[in-house]
Structure 1
Amino acid sequence: MKNYQLNTENLSKISESIAVPTYDRTKVKTGIVHVGIGGFHRSHEAFYTDQLLHDPSASEWGICGIALLEFDTKIYQTLKNQNGLYTLIVKELDGTQTTRVIGSIVEYLYAPENTLAVIEKMASPEVKIISLTITEGGYNYNEATKEFDFSTPSIQHDLENPDAPKTIFGYLTQALKLRKERGLKGCTIQSCDNIQGNGHMTKRMLLSYVAKAVPELVDWIECHVSFPNAMVDRITPATAASDITNLKETTGVQDAWPVVCEPFKQWVIEDDFIEGRPAWETVGAQFVENVEPYEKMKLSLLNAGHSVLGILGALIGYDTIDESVSNSNISTFLHNYMDIEVTPTLGDLEGINLKEYKDSLIERFGNINIKDQIDRICSESSAKFPIFILPTVKAQLVEKGSVELAAFVVAAWAIYSLGKDENGKELVIKDAMKSQLHEKAVASVIEPASFLTLESIFGNLSSSTIFKDAFTKAYQDITKNGVEQSVINLNAKN
């Protein structure tokens, strides 16, 4: 089999082995600027948009991908070398794969070297939407104060150097300022991150920054920029070297960074786009008046479920999520957590069969072809726990419901933060708060509840005697008996 480097020149030859875009990419205009062109964006929004672009009337909705951080150099170079093209590999439950080339990213910019170009692109009148996947921690929200955190060095830099920003808030502020000064229309800023009320969060954090950086811009943003909430869902593990090799061997396509994902996908969006939007509903997205019930269900069940499986599995010594969920004791614990502690907090979910949804999650987590790495799932847990797990705890405390299982997961996280699994193997911990977590974890060896005093994560949760007692008991149980035996004991109670 002859091999072809993935790029525009070789697209017709590649089309003989896998599906490729059949629309003329040279006629696609950029209507969307997307910040954060990692795997999830490319398996989700860029995929939906690629499908839409096969309709000639949608040609104004191409994507300009922005690599915002120096960390993003590799993905920028890959997309640049491949003319924005990449391969999407969908791994089905039965082991088969569906492979296609995605062409919706028609421009790409590297912000650290092209600051002005990124600001100008965001301010371009043809751009109607600026979308974001900047991770849960990218919104600069402090759980303890419930406010924007102005103390971070990068935010201080942007306030002092407005024309040379480093953060998303600095870039958006400068771009919106240009739109106002030039008498241009506003745009929609669309979060695609796993945060409940992600549109509300984006608006609140941006306006907090703008009120200090360019206060006269606040009223204009209120009138000319919309921030729709959205729920996004598609499990997208990190690409492995074997995925790149297998793609080349089976199709002849040489792609430096293909994207791997599961077949399931969901995108529920509030229809609040101030300057128009793509007809994503024609390719499977769902537009609704209120996305909150869908968001809450997904964050509290799927995302929290991932964290449960990740933390417990990491301590036992597993490498992938499917290993963790295939342990019947762990999967029973997760079922109990979803049924006993999460479900009572979800309220009425009209039109949704919650039992079927929870069962489908276990099936999706168990997809042995995905091989979602546990260290990916556990990364940045300090940003994930306050969004995925702690809202369930707080709601249950208000209603005097069970918090025993959530407390167990938080206790496991405290032990995980010591840096070794139960076999003594070093854990790969990727977290912006790694040093603070480790410090509190060490203190917890003597006084377990010390871990809960990290206010930026737990707020005032340490003042809850009920939760603190449940956490302490769980910590002592895990330390004495190990994760699996402790889980068996808990399952027997439930």
Structure 2
Amino acid sequence: MAALPSSPILQFGTSRFLQAHVDLFVHQALEQEQALGRVTVVQTTGSAASAQRLAAFNAPGGYPVRIRGREDGAVVDREHRVTAIEAGLHADRDWATICELGATSVQVIISNTGDRGYELCAVDGPSLLDGAAAPRSFPAKLLVLLHRRYLRGAAPLTLYPCELVANNGAVLRDVVRKLALAWKLDNSFIVYLSMTCVWINSLVDRIVSEAIDPAGAVAEPYAIWVIEAKRRMVLPCVHPHIVVTDRLEPYERRKLFLLNAGHTFLAEHWLAYRRPKDETVLQAMSDPALRAELEALWEEEVLPVFDQLGEAGTARTYLAQVRDRFCNPFLAHRLADIAQNHEEKKRRRLLPVVALANELGLTLPQPRLRAALQLAAARHHSGAGMP
């Protein structure tokens, strides 16, 4: 077994986003003595790039995060040396250490496991509860960790999924609970994992455009982590860019419908028209015809939804920020990166705009969204049903 870290924060995922957002927040909070402690990062994939990042996390001196862009009208170009990572572990190699850590010092689990992170794996089963080998799926990994923690009588955890899934905490809790039922675990444990542990819905928002090898990233100045308040929650840190709120939905809707849908619409054009392979968001925004199409998407197909919800002002303020962020001259945000898992992203980012417009009884044709989704044209009367 590897030497046991003592981190209160366990993080699943090694992505450049987590490095330049959550881990940077913890680093900055530690400097102000406003964090629980340092982070242990768990790699769950077998990719060579992730393995190199893991080795860098375990090297002394931290890793660089470079913040580039404009903030309050001024050019920002600064570098942080992030030293918030206590250890980097690999799930397959270090599972016994991870299980012991999860049953002892950990107070908070953070994850960002990608667009398919909540999918289950058929080979995972209750025999894995002995901790001898790591499950394949992330929900099964969580289930094993929580079960071992429960058996040890440790305090409940607070879990912060950061995946771009609406109500991500509740969704992940339900996936893990259903898996526990399928494994026929006892009722008192089911209550522990679903009712005693605290599953937080949260939203992260920062454009992280480039990796710095082997670890580190380039990111924009704009950053926010919106956390839905819950009783008994333990925060990993206190930070100026962390917002704790009773109403997460408006923040989620603005990011999903304006920033994420905008990115995915540009990626749709990049794929459909076989645009230059290394085209960036900035280059796409500099194409007058494509920029006009994106602006029409926002103005004609998305903003009327916010108008109907009574959120016109906040939506337009956020959209102005999004335009500035898309036109950041210091970031090389490649459309090829945004286009990864494109069909799933369209389902999550574009379809909800069409569905909510329909639910609100709007008569929006939404031709660009429907073309991307390959939906039939909208019926031009109030209350028209989804095709």
Same fold (TM > 0.5): yes
Q: Specify the alignment match of 2:43 in structure 1.
A: 67
Question: SS state of the match for residue 178, structure 1?
Answer: helix
Gaps of 5+ in 1: 1-27, 141-149, 245-254, 412-461, 469-494
Structure 2 distance, partners of 1:287, 1:41, is 19
Q: For residue 96 of structure 1, report the CA deviation from its aligned partner.
A: 5.1
Q: Specify the alignment match of 2:281 in structure 1.
A: 321
Q: 1:272 to 1:337 in 2, by over 3 A?
A: same
Q: 1:380 to 1:467 in 2, by over 3 A?
A: farther
Q: 1:166 to 1:206 in 2, by over 3 A?
A: same
- Equivalent residues in 2 for 1:255-404 (5 A)? 256-272=214-230, 274=232, 276-280=234-238, 282-314=239-271, 315-318=273-276, 319-346=279-306, 348=309, 353-398=314-359, 399=361, 400-404=363-367
Structure 1 distance, partners of 2:198, 2:87, is 24
Q: For residue 61 of structure 1, report the CA deviation from its aligned partner.
A: 2.5
Query: Residue 185 of structure 1 contacts residue 224 of structure 1 at CA under 8 Å; is this kept in 2?
Result: no
Structure 1 distance, partners of 2:215, 2:262, is 28
Q: For residue 273 of structure 1, report the CA deviation from its aligned partner.
A: 6.1
Kindly provide the CA deviation profile for residues 88-126 of structure 1, in whole angstroms up to 9, marking residues without a partner as x: 0111247652111011111221112112222222222x2
Q: 1:112 aligns with which of 86, 92, 98?
A: 92
Question: SS state of the match for residue 60, structure 1?
Answer: coil
Gaps of 5+ in 2: 380-387
Q: 2:103 aligns with which of 109, 123, 144?
A: 123
Structure 2 distance, partners of 1:351, 1:284, is 23
Q: Does 1:466 align with 2:377?
A: yes
Q: For residue 160 of structure 1, report the CA deviation from its aligned partner.
A: 6.1
Q: 1:397 to 1:271 in 2, by over 3 A?
A: closer
Q: Specify the alignment match of 1:45 in structure 2.
A: 22
Query: Residue 91 of structure 1 contacts residue 260 of structure 1 at CA under 8 Å; is this kept in 2?
Result: yes
Question: SS state of the match for residue 70, structure 1?
Answer: coil
Q: Specify the alignment match of 1:132 in structure 2.
A: 111
Q: 1:273 to 1:55 in 2, by over 3 A?
A: farther
Query: Residue 196 of structure 1 contacts residue 299 of structure 1 at CA under 8 Å; is this kept in 2?
Result: no
The structure whose Rg is larger is 1
Aligned residues between the structures: 359
Query: Residue 52 of structure 1 contacts residue 283 of structure 1 at CA under 8 Å; is this kept in 2?
Result: no
Query: Residue 36 of structure 2 contacts residue 237 of structure 2 at CA under 8 Å; is this kept in 1?
Result: no
Q: Percent identity?
A: 20
Q: For residue 138 of structure 1, report the CA deviation from its aligned partner.
A: 1.0
Q: For residue 359 of structure 1, report the CA deviation from its aligned partner.
A: 2.2
Q: 1:208 to 1:467 in 2, by over 3 A?
A: farther
After superposition, the CA RMSD in angstroms is 2.5
Q: For residue 283 of structure 1, report the CA deviation from its aligned partner.
A: 2.8
Query: Residue 84 of structure 1 contacts residue 108 of structure 1 at CA under 8 Å; is this kept in 2?
Result: no
Kindly provide the CA deviation profile for residues 350-375 of structure 1, in whole angstroms up to 9, marking residues without a partner as x: 69532222122122112122111111
